[in-house]
Structure 1
Amino acid sequence: MAYLLLLIGFILLIKGADYFVEGASGIAKLLRVPPILIGLTIVAFGTSSPEAAVSIRAAVNGNNGIALGNVVGSNVFNISLIIGITAMLNPLQVERETVRKEIPFTLLASILLLVLVSDTLLQGLAINQITMGDGLVLGCFFLIFMFYLLEVALHSRERDEEMTAFCPKTMGKNVLFTAGGLAAIISGGELVVRSSTTIAKTLGMSETMIGLTIVAVGTSLPELITSVTAAVKKQSEIAVGNIVGSNIFNILFVLGISSAIHPIRVDPKIFFDIRLMILYTAILLIFSRTHHKISRKEGFVLLLSYLFYAVHVILRG
């Protein structure tokens, strides 16, 4: 029964995120928002809403191992497998500003997370945890990022054809799609947390382990679908912006809110995964700086590396 509920929860998350992104993107087009900004905000936050729903629900229920594992696992999945697949389908052009500002900010957020969870090493405390105070720090950095995006929106004069294209839905329908999608995401998040926790206990898996694997992959499916679709349509700005924005949103907003609700105790095993997340972000920055493009070969390297990582996590247990 738990497996069935998990499947239903994922379906609600994926379809909910799909409707949420469609409605929110429609609103953005009607308001004439630049494409890269759509990728970094509306699409990124929309596709990351499953992670938010699952992690916040896990924090409320006290299953914080799932919350942290979900975010770290999703971010690794996003950069390695999703960027890898999309680049192999169609080489991804990366905006100059994304290389200079957004990806370095993602790297900064990843390093900040490592610093905040290293209580034993840096402060000599008995346990490592993300406290409520740490959550407020993450939240402040998220506000800085939002302020930066607001500045980009106000000063951007680019008007792509996609922005001026006819939007088939009215504002009312777009709002309805957005609200309905959000409701499905919240419901799906509840089912995923409840059922995955039951499965973890049955199989003897830790909450962090199941967060890094089943939950991380499941909640990242909207990012995968969105980025692949954008790559096929040769909308690289949305594909890359989606992943970069999602990773920033996951660390700063999702973990910020989750730890503010309830402190997150850190499993020592996840330090390897956090460092790997930082390494992947650095690799993404390096790949993006080469002619401002992620090639098919670079995409293959990222994809292959994720397969090795997945085997490592499963064998590690």
Structure 2
Amino acid sequence: MWFKNIQVFKCSSPLALNTEQLQEQLNEHRFQPCKSIETYRLGWVFPAATSDQLLHASNKKILLCLRRQEKVIPAAVVNEILKERVEELELKDHRKVGRKEKLNIKEDILTEMTPKAFAKSSYTWGYVDLANQWVIVDAASSKKAEEFLDLLRQTIGSLPVIPLNTEVTPTTLMTHWLNDISSRPAGLALNGQCELRSDLDEGSVIRCKQQELDAEDVLAHLQAGKQVTKLAIDWQERVQCILNEDLSIKRLRFGDDLLEEAQDSYADEDPMTRLDADFTLMTLELQRFLHELIEWLGGEHQSH
């Protein structure tokens, strides 16, 4: 359950949730398998196998899990059938099949194949942090995060959130860190990976992996006007990740000490005990890290 990527959203107006009421609302949007003619379905599922609720609450944080089931229809198969049908029509009617007619034929093929297609599922985790008024989603893409937020919005009726925004842009801060060793906060280390981009030339991108980022050849790119858009960082040997220019966090990993602490906190393999321990420790650590990150970035942006 440990998150691997996070996108942080801030409530633009106070959000209060009652867990009993929320459980009833979640039940109304509980996951149901795709019907034969549906291409996909979304819904909430139990966070643990032994759970009897569609949420897990701890320290004013509410964990949810979205399941997406979609029919798998290989594009190559559809295109092959489409090609065969178009060729048959053109041969039979002695004419050229137009683009619009091809699209109609393709839609017919998809309608025929959908009831027979295999279904696959994917899961998106996220939690509402009522104390900090955040919604944090384990998603590598904004599209996947928005899917989670949209279903939560439908579930509770309203969800006034915006992407977390700070006074200083991540690009400005990461460039400063790379350019000036003394500017790096205590407990922060660079992890040998970054992406540099020039504002003047969108096609000019330098990607460094497993390199000494303080080397002269890397710093020369900064002197030439490039800025840091991605940077691998290590915070207190407890959180490692790649910080992106949009404040999203990718390839999130937690330190061995923290993972061992989680394992030591439960003596058996009961899924709910394990979930509670993992969720509590992960969210507390993320809270500490995010507070420091926001402070480094000059605090949350205040709209005037």
Q: Which has the higher contact order (CA 8 A, sep 6+)?
A: 1
Shorter-chain TM-score tier: under 0.3
The structure with more helix, counted as a fraction of residues: 1
Structure-1-length-normalised TM-score: 0.19
Structure of larger gyration radius: 2
Give TM-score, length-normalised by structure 2.
0.19
